[in-house]
Structure formats: structure tokens, C-alpha cells
Copies of this chain bind each other. A is one copy, B any other.
Amino acid sequence: MIANKNCIIRLSRYKNAIYRLRDLGFVKVFSENLADATGVTASQVRKDFSMFGITGNRKGGYEISSLIDRLGEILGKNRVEKVVIVGSGHLASALMQYKGFEKEGIKIEAAFDIDPEKFDKNAAIPVLPADELKGFAAANNIKVGILAVPEIAAQRAADAMFDAGIKGIMNFAPIRLKSPNDCTINNVNLEIELENLIYFVNIIGKKEI
């Protein structure tokens, strides 16, 4: 599909908003509602839907249940997606405890570390030796991993992940990873986000980032 990243992110946001509206008992939703809930224009919502052939009902808006199905299909979330975490520091633990992923059908299957002190085969999410990653990923068909190790160890850990057949990394280390051509990297850089926020606060004025 020829949709850009921002469009995909917006689809996720629409989906989240739609869940909330559904929980409030809504059955239909209009492009205007989704616009209000997510902070974009109504045309943007319709255009985004149009890009993926999502159609509503001229006059009747969009039916929530079928919209959720359709968005789930597009975003690939109609089955549980299994992921691993590499690293088991504070951030990794926080992510393991985080309930938000499950709600989206994302299951963290295991964490991997090099520090034997951290190993715990019997935890709800087991913490395993890093050298077991490849076997584990193969056995469980893992394609996506979260990289939460210190900057200094990040590239090596990423290389091990690629070697284990992982095709997508959510990278929390503040460096640009060198990666094979068929792999996708999503960089999450909290310092940069916060620095960015501070910038906009200092130059004053409302802004949504």
C-alpha cells in the first residue's frame, strides 16, 4: 500500500478512539467525531479511510464494529502478535509490566539478557540468556523485537536480533542502527521527545506534537 507512516499512525489513533466510543455505547461514528477525538480534520479522516478503501454510509457515517474489523485487518492485529524484548533493565521491566500492549493483541513472549543475575526461566515473561534468542525466535516465529539495552550494546544486540530472523525492531537506544535492507527500525527516543517538548514550551504557544 502506498500509505505513509503518518497515515498508519492516524489509523491506530482512530482505532483507539473508536474503541472508546464503542465502550460508551456508540454504534455509528462520523468522520467529524474521529476528527475531534484525534485532533485532525474530518477530511483527513475520510481521506485516510479512502486510501484503504474503507467506506462508510453517505449520511449514516461509519458502523463501529465493521470499522474496528477493517482497521484491525489493515493494521495486522486480528491475531496476536508475539514479540520479544532484548534487555532487562528498568525500561524493559516497565514494558513487560505494561498492560497497554496486551489490549492491542501484542504479547511479549520473553526477554533476553546477558547478565545471569537477571535470568528467570519461570517468570510470567521469562528472562532468558541472550544466546537463546535465535532458537527461541525460530521456535516461536518471532518477527518483531523491542531493543532496550544501553547505547553501547545496542548495535551488537540488534545484529543478534537480525541474525535471529527478526525483521522489525522498536529501538529505545539513542543511536541509528545499521540494519539489513528487509528490516524496519522504529526509533523511540525519549530524550529527543522531551527536548522537543521543552523547545516548544520555551518558544511559547499551543502546539500538539
Contact = CB atoms under 8 A, between A and B. Distances in A.
A96 B192 CA distance: 16
A83 B174 CA distance: 20
A2 B94 CA distance: 37
A16 B184 contact: no
A195 B90 contact: no
Nearest to A12: B192
A104 B207 contact: no
Nearest to A15: B195
A168 B193 CA distance: 12
Contacts of A167: 201, 204
A51 interface: no
A98 B199 CA distance: 21
Interface stretch (A53-61, A73-81, A118-126, A128-136): A73-81
B76 A202 contact: yes
A166 B1 CA distance: 41
14 contacts: A8-B196, A9-B196, A12-B191, A12-B192, A13-B189, A13-B192, A39-B176, A76-B202, A91-B98, A93-B94, A95-B190, A98-B190, A168-B201, A184-B205
**Top 5 nearest A-B pairs by Cβ distance?**
A168-B201, A94-B94, A90-B94, A186-B209, A186-B197
